[in-house]
Amino acid sequence: MPNKTALSFLAHPDDAEFLCGGTLIRLRELGWSVHIASATAGDCGTMEQDRWQISAVRTAEAKRAAEMIGATYHCLDEPDIFVVYDKPTLRKAVELFRAVAPSLVFTHAHRDYQMDHEVVSQLARAASFGYGAPNAVDTPRNPQSVIPHLYYCDPIEGIDPLGNPVTPTTFVDISAQREKKSAMLACHASQREWLRAHHGMDEYLESMARLGATRGRQAGVLAAEGFVQHRGHAYPHTDLLAELFSALNG
């Protein structure tokens, strides 16, 4: 392992805490450097504030959540619900990867309920493959740049957009990290009222815990996070999460 640096690159400021927060906590416990990045500042996540007000609130919440585990927060400042796969956005993603030089990356499932999630998944896949190429961008290349282990987080509720269940390739036991993961998600206080108003959902923390418990039952533990590993050409085929945490393969 040339570089013990992990990057969670997801769409919105609370996605990391919801989908892979327990695993990020475990990585920090092993001494890894952890970076949490969102493509957007979540500027549509409100019924009351303007985009600038809510962006300031949500990025401050994300920074506090990251600081709880000694992680670093980044934001690409793309517009919420308008994330697209184009040259300027991909360049931002490559610059992020260039600055962090991760050897382990988490991103959204390639099929998910929200299109921002799916586009960010594409951006993460492209940037993870190309960020180490010297001519990709002008930012100097970190000599430790590698094609990283790439994992897709669970889609929300563990189902694809057509309601079909997604089967993880890897489970990570987060039983001992449940309280800290919940505390990280609770930093995103602005989202409780938003989700209740827009989704009719007043169970922000409970829905996160429910998915963790479901994956835990499947893995034979109290709580788990599920991932699907990208094993395409040139990507590592070894299951790094299983090696690090004695995770159960799906």
Sheet holding 170-173, edge to edge: 72-78, 33-40, 5-10, 104-107, 149-153, 224-230, 170-173, 248-249
Domain count for the chain: 1
State yes or no: pLDDT of 239 exceeds 50.
yes
Among 111, 112, 107, 109, which Cα is nearest to 129's? Answer: 107
Model pLDDT for residues 169-221, shown as the tens digit of each residue: 999 999 999 999 999 998 888 877 777 776 666 567 788 889 999 999 999 99
Q: How far apart are the first and last CA of the chain?
A: 24
Angle subtended at Cα 25 by Cα 238 and Cα 115, rounded to the nearest 5 degrees: 75
CA separation for the pair 45, 149 (Å, rounded)? 31
- The CATH number for 50's domain is 3.40.50.10320
**Residues 85-143: tens digit of each pLDDT:** 999 999 999 999 999 999 999 999 999 999 999 999 999 999 999 999 999 999 999 99
Interval 223-244 mean pLDDT: 96
CA distance 127 to 119: 12
Angle, CA 174 vertex, CA 202 and CA 73 arms, to 5°:
70
> What pLDDT score does 37 carry?
98
**Per-residue confidence (pLDDT) for residue 249, from 0 to 100:** 53
Q: What pTM was estimated for this model as a whole?
A: 0.94
Which residue segment(s) compose the domain that 72 sits in? 5-249
Confidence label for 248 from pLDDT (cuts 50, 70 and 90): low
Q: What pLDDT does residue 250 have?
A: 46
Per-residue model confidence (pLDDT) at position 215: 96
Angle, helix 204-219 to helix 178-186, in steps of 10 degrees? 150
